[in-house]
Amino acid sequence: MSAEPVRLLWERMEARDWDAVAEQLHPDVVVDWPNTAERMRGRDNYLAVQREYPEGWHIEVLRIVDGGNHVVSEVRVDHERKRFFVCSFFELAGERIVRAVEYWSEGEPLQPPAWRAPWTEPL
Protein backbone atom coordinates (compact mmCIF):
# COMPACT_ATOMS: atom_id res chain seq x y z
CA MET A 1 0.00 0.00 0.00
CA SER A 2 1.03 3.57 -0.32
CA ALA A 3 0.20 7.01 0.90
CA GLU A 4 -1.37 7.93 -2.45
CA PRO A 5 -4.99 7.99 -1.17
CA VAL A 6 -3.98 10.50 1.52
CA ARG A 7 -2.02 12.66 -0.90
CA LEU A 8 -4.97 12.67 -3.28
CA LEU A 9 -7.40 13.42 -0.43
CA TRP A 10 -5.60 16.66 0.45
CA GLU A 11 -5.05 17.63 -3.18
CA ARG A 12 -8.71 17.13 -3.99
CA MET A 13 -9.86 18.83 -0.78
CA GLU A 14 -7.85 21.90 -1.76
CA ALA A 15 -9.51 21.82 -5.21
CA ARG A 16 -12.98 21.42 -3.60
CA ASP A 17 -13.50 18.45 -5.91
CA TRP A 18 -15.91 16.62 -3.60
CA ASP A 19 -16.65 13.75 -6.00
CA ALA A 20 -12.92 13.05 -6.26
CA VAL A 21 -12.54 13.31 -2.46
CA ALA A 22 -15.29 10.69 -2.15
CA GLU A 23 -13.22 8.30 -4.28
CA GLN A 24 -10.52 8.26 -1.57
CA LEU A 25 -12.96 7.32 1.20
CA HIS A 26 -14.54 3.99 2.03
CA PRO A 27 -18.34 4.38 2.19
CA ASP A 28 -18.23 3.42 5.89
CA VAL A 29 -15.26 5.64 6.81
CA VAL A 30 -15.13 6.90 10.40
CA VAL A 31 -13.37 10.20 11.11
CA ASP A 32 -12.80 11.46 14.66
CA TRP A 33 -11.92 15.00 15.75
CA PRO A 34 -10.94 14.53 19.44
CA ASN A 35 -10.43 18.28 20.00
CA THR A 36 -14.16 18.88 19.59
CA ALA A 37 -15.32 15.38 20.58
CA GLU A 38 -16.96 14.75 17.19
CA ARG A 39 -17.24 11.64 15.06
CA MET A 40 -18.30 11.59 11.42
CA ARG A 41 -19.58 8.15 10.55
CA GLY A 42 -19.81 7.43 6.83
CA ARG A 43 -18.49 9.12 3.71
CA ASP A 44 -21.66 11.18 3.18
CA ASN A 45 -21.46 12.76 6.64
CA TYR A 46 -17.77 13.55 6.29
CA LEU A 47 -18.30 15.13 2.88
CA ALA A 48 -21.26 17.16 4.15
CA VAL A 49 -19.11 18.70 6.89
CA GLN A 50 -16.36 19.54 4.39
CA ARG A 51 -18.78 21.04 1.85
CA GLU A 52 -20.43 23.24 4.49
CA TYR A 53 -17.20 24.53 6.04
CA PRO A 54 -17.06 28.32 5.53
CA GLU A 55 -15.16 29.30 2.37
CA GLY A 56 -11.78 30.98 2.34
CA TRP A 57 -9.50 28.15 3.45
CA HIS A 58 -6.30 26.88 1.87
CA ILE A 59 -4.48 23.61 2.61
CA GLU A 60 -0.72 23.13 2.45
CA VAL A 61 0.59 19.61 2.97
CA LEU A 62 3.73 19.79 5.10
CA ARG A 63 4.48 16.06 5.11
CA ILE A 64 3.05 12.61 4.64
CA VAL A 65 4.56 9.58 6.33
CA ASP A 66 3.83 6.28 4.59
CA GLY A 67 3.47 3.35 6.97
CA GLY A 68 1.74 0.99 4.58
CA ASN A 69 -1.87 0.75 5.65
CA HIS A 70 -1.25 3.42 8.33
CA VAL A 71 -0.42 6.88 7.00
CA VAL A 72 0.18 10.12 8.90
CA SER A 73 -0.09 13.61 7.45
CA GLU A 74 0.73 17.05 8.76
CA VAL A 75 -1.03 19.95 7.04
CA ARG A 76 -1.42 23.66 7.55
CA VAL A 77 -4.83 25.18 6.99
CA ASP A 78 -5.06 28.93 6.52
CA HIS A 79 -8.58 30.27 6.90
CA GLU A 80 -9.04 34.00 6.55
CA ARG A 81 -6.99 35.40 9.45
CA LYS A 82 -6.53 32.11 11.29
CA ARG A 83 -4.00 29.34 10.87
CA PHE A 84 -4.42 25.74 11.98
CA PHE A 85 -2.09 22.76 12.00
CA VAL A 86 -3.62 19.31 11.58
CA CYS A 87 -2.00 15.98 12.35
CA SER A 88 -4.05 13.15 10.84
CA PHE A 89 -3.71 9.42 11.37
CA PHE A 90 -5.26 7.37 8.57
CA GLU A 91 -5.98 3.66 8.21
CA LEU A 92 -6.29 2.32 4.69
CA ALA A 93 -8.03 -0.72 3.28
CA GLY A 94 -6.90 -1.23 -0.28
CA GLU A 95 -6.80 2.20 -1.87
CA ARG A 96 -9.42 3.80 0.38
CA ILE A 97 -9.35 5.52 3.75
CA VAL A 98 -11.45 3.59 6.30
CA ARG A 99 -10.55 5.44 9.50
CA ALA A 100 -9.02 8.76 10.46
CA VAL A 101 -8.27 10.61 13.67
CA GLU A 102 -7.39 14.28 13.22
CA TYR A 103 -5.89 16.56 15.84
CA TRP A 104 -6.43 20.25 15.09
CA SER A 105 -4.29 22.94 16.67
CA GLU A 106 -4.77 26.68 16.58
CA GLY A 107 -1.82 28.04 14.64
CA GLU A 108 -1.04 30.81 17.09
CA PRO A 109 1.49 29.48 19.58
CA LEU A 110 0.62 29.42 23.25
CA GLN A 111 2.88 31.13 25.70
CA PRO A 112 5.20 28.46 27.12
CA PRO A 113 5.53 28.16 30.88
CA ALA A 114 8.54 30.01 32.28
CA TRP A 115 9.82 26.95 34.16
CA ARG A 116 10.78 25.24 30.84
CA ALA A 117 12.83 28.17 29.53
CA PRO A 118 16.25 26.81 30.63
CA TRP A 119 15.82 23.79 28.35
CA THR A 120 13.97 25.19 25.33
CA GLU A 121 14.30 27.80 22.60
CA PRO A 122 11.66 29.61 20.52
CA LEU A 123 10.71 28.16 17.13
Run of H or E including 23 = helix 18-23
Mean pLDDT of 102-108: 85
Q: Which of 108, 100, 52 is nearest to 73 (CA)?
A: 100
| Residue that wins the pLDDT comparison between 56 and 123 | 56
Q: Which amino acid is at 118?
A: P
pLDDT digits (tens, 9 = 90+) for 33-71: 999 999 999 999 999 999 998 888 999 999 999 999 999
| pLDDT bracket for residue 1 (50, 70, 90) | low
DSSP secondary structure code for residue 111 in this structure: P
Confidence at residue 106, expressed as pLDDT on a 0 to 100 scale: 80
Residues 6+ apart with CB under 8 A from 21: 9, 12, 13, 47, 50
- Pairs from 58-67 (Cβ < 8 Å, separation ≥ 24): 58/14, 59/10, 59/13, 59/14, 61/7, 61/10, 61/11, 64/3, 64/6, 64/7, 65/3, 66/2, 66/3
For the chain, the structural domain boundaries read 4-107
Confidence at residue 112, expressed as pLDDT on a 0 to 100 scale: 85
Whether residue 2 is predicted with pLDDT greater than 70 in this model: the reply is: yes
Q: What is the overall mean pLDDT for the chain?
A: 93
User: Residue 76, SS3?
Assistant: strand
* Domain 4-107: which CATH number of 3.75.10.10, 3.10.450.50, 3.40.50.880, 3.40.220.10: 3.10.450.50
Of 20-29, 84-93, 109-118, the one with minimum mean pLDDT is 109-118
- In DSSP terms, which residues pair with 101 in a beta bridge? 32, 89
Q: Whole-model pTM?
A: 0.88
